[in-house]
Chains A and B, each alone.
Chain A
Amino acid sequence: MIELMNDQLVFTFPEIHPDARLSIEFQRTLRIPDDGKTYSLPPGLGRFPLQHVDDFAADVPSAWLQRGGAMLPMYQAEAMWLNFNSTSVPGHWRPYPFAIKIATGKQCAVSGNAWASGMNRSPQDYLVAPTQPWLDGFVVKKGTIRQFVAMPLGSGYTAEEQLTGNAEHGGLQIAVCPMKRRVFEQRFPKRAKTRSRVSRSLDCMMTLCDAEATAGMDMGLAPGGSMRQEIYDDPFDNADWEMNTNSRCFVHLCNSLVWSSVTGSNPPHPAPTAKQYTKAGLPWFDYYDEKASINTGSSKLDGMKSVAQLSGEKGDVVLPENQSVSPENLVVYRKGLGKHELREGAF
């Protein structure tokens, strides 16, 4: 069962376990420079507003109604990361594990393969929460991703268009599958509470006045700048997952300029540029889990061209602001350290 609550998708599986609950939020963030350098993780600048497509049936394309799901507004100047939050199960003090498949334009963001039902392990086409707290982009190499940035569907930049040659689906597709209850209770017996969470969301609201003019309503996700982010291999067995019980959702990405006329509400201000953000001394982030096995990435996804590379070849000007930055305020999270060892500054 999927509900839309406080701009999050909340997946629950009461038939499996009363506390099997995963929320996925779509965090707004700045576009990291697409300049060949590899950057740390940018901050979360708040959730994208999320609405049922059915609530705006008269104003959205018929294809959106056919697919159902939810929709959110994106500016071309901004990027997105996904935050996975699995509810801690009382007594076990351990979040319930979920396998999560993420695709853009029905192309898997982890394996680069076309959308397929179920969770496939070779190559792995899903993430595991809570092992994986965030996903910021396409998994191109071991420890490196290319940021999810918004581009109009049909412009040739999106991952879908680069991988398939078609601009058919756009949006973001998500499927979630819970761990089997018996396996959860065997693997994670009841114990005392110990865990703390990591966070990279900022409360401050940033503004930026760069606007873009795009014609279509549908946006897709394209590979942007390069970022350090470890994507972890599934630490569990294939048989641990309740494969027959999964929920899926299509999240449509709506051009921000069109969002107001469809919903009657304004989208958030665009995110600041990386230069503005860094100049203000605000933090960037790194996250490492030294015990986890790291996914090697997808050669298919690595073969895509970034927005800057492609726009250079096409002679387009799609990134009005793409200046390199040198973040100095870096917050490093290392999983497994004690409560007072979570933050480490770079000097």
Chain B
Amino acid sequence: MSEFGSFLRECREAKRASNRQFSVRQLAARIGVEPSYLSKVERGQQPPPSEATIKALAAELEQDPDVLLAMAGKVSSELQAIIRQRPKLFAELIHQLKDMPDHAVLRLVREVRDGDW
């Protein structure tokens, strides 16, 4: 079972415990895929679905779409577009941040620059 598939099933089952609309059949219908396909994805018998389907799943299951995409081995097209605009700069930035602790990354904010006046 893939990490993505098992996480998906875990989230769906947790929702289903209090809301019957989160059966495989009903969830699949809402995101526009076949129930058998969703079931196979959960069991790791199919690779993760498309970005659009993952985002729809994230919205249904109230999960962060970027986290779900990352578990599926994908980067959102929006983030890709941001990186493609300045690939060298962002690659350097990400390399430099890779070992930084979370709290240090969170401290990275853009300040309003003060000049001479």
Interface, chain A (partner B; CB < 8 A): 1-4, 9, 52, 54, 65-70, 106, 169, 173, 247-250
Contacts and interface: CB of A to CB of B under 8 A. Distances in A.
Contacts of A173: 117
Interface residues of B, number: 9
Contacts, number: 42
Decide if the interface of chain A is mainly helix, strand, loop or mixed.
strand
B99 interface: no
B49 to A, nearest CB: 34
A69 B111 contact: no
A68 B109 contact: no
Contacts of A249: 112, 114
Contacts of A3: 109-112
A68 B115 CA distance: 5
B62 interface: no
B113 A52 contact: yes
B116 interface: yes
A69 B109 contact: no
B110 A69 contact: no
A52 B110 CA distance: 10
A101 to B, nearest CB: 14
Contact of A1 (B111, B115, B116, B117): B111
Interface string B75-117: 0000000000000000000000000000000000111111111
A4 B109 CA distance: 10
Most buried by A among B112, B113, B114: B112
A66 B116 contact: yes
Nearest to A63: B117
Given A9-B112, A173-B117, 5 more contacts: A1-B111, A52-B110, A54-B113, A70-B112, A248-B114
